[in-house]
Amino acid sequence: MSATEGKTTRVFDKSKVTVIFVLGGPGAGKGTQCANLVNDFGFCHLSAGDLLRAEQNREGSEYGEMIRTYIKEGQIVPMEVTIKLLENAMKATVAESRSGEGWADGKGRFLIDGFPRKMDQAVKFDDEVCESSLVLFFTTTEEEMSKRLLKRGETSGREDDNEESIKKRFHVYKEQTMPVIEHYTKLHKVASIDATATIEEVHQKAKAVVEEVFSGQASGNVTA
């Protein structure tokens, strides 16, 4: 897009790079399903949470302590930090792997997991980095998500997989991320997938939705 009518130039053009956002509550199965979709479609999978945790642990990072506090409290890290991490990771993939992971049919393909979880992030990313094509929205009950997270917490070592942090994460999700889903629903870009079933059943539904995107048949909001 050219820098006209007050709009900024995006870092990546949608015609060359497909971005699919992956949203859903904490523990809905975003990371699990992204791994499956990487195998199916050769996406580059970028988890905003993983990128933040890596930055938190990077020696010399000026943001490390700030990120640790936000994650433990279930709060959303200021968007400038997260968007920069995502943009850098996308640039590295595009520069390095034009024939490898994250690249197919002459185009880049990215699954951006756990982002955008707040309206300001959604608007900034779409306007300045790359316009997203679809939101895969995994839904299930809070009870199920909580059960999954507490089980994972037995071995994950994640500082936010404990009852207190999980409660805060659910609260922030409802208050700040649900408006993002409503925003993309109005833009007819949301595929809602019931993620209560087994991992493989959920995978098959997600695969079918993504197939439609790449075959050019995707049409508005869908529920699977």
Write out the two tokens for 140.
């299930």
Q: Please report, as a single letter, which amino acid is at residue 142.
A: E
In whole angstroms, the minimum distance from the beta carbon of 90 to ligand UP5 comes to 14
Chain center to CA of 152: 20
Neighbouring C-beta atoms of residue 66, cutoff 10 Å: 15
Burial class (CB in 10 A: 0-12, 13-18, 19+), 9: exposed
Q: Please report, as a single letter, which amino acid is at residue 17.
A: V
Name the binder of 115 from Mg ion, ligand UP5, none, CB < 5-8 A by kind. Answer: ligand UP5
Name the binder of 152 from ligand UP5, Mg ion, none, CB < 5-8 A by kind. Answer: ligand UP5
Q: Interface mask (CB under 6 A) for ligand UP5, residues 75-114, using x and -?
A: xxx----x-------------------------------x
The one segment of 12-20, 36-44, 70-78, 124-132 that binds ligand UP5 by CB under 6 A: 70-78
Could you say whether residue 52 binds ligand UP5 (CB under 6 A)?
yes
Least Cα distance to 177 among 21, 24, 20 occurs for 24
Question: Interface with ligand UP5 by CB under 6 A: which residues?
Answer: 24, 26-32, 47-49, 52, 70-71, 74-77, 82, 114-115, 117, 148, 152, 160, 169, 195, 198-199, 202
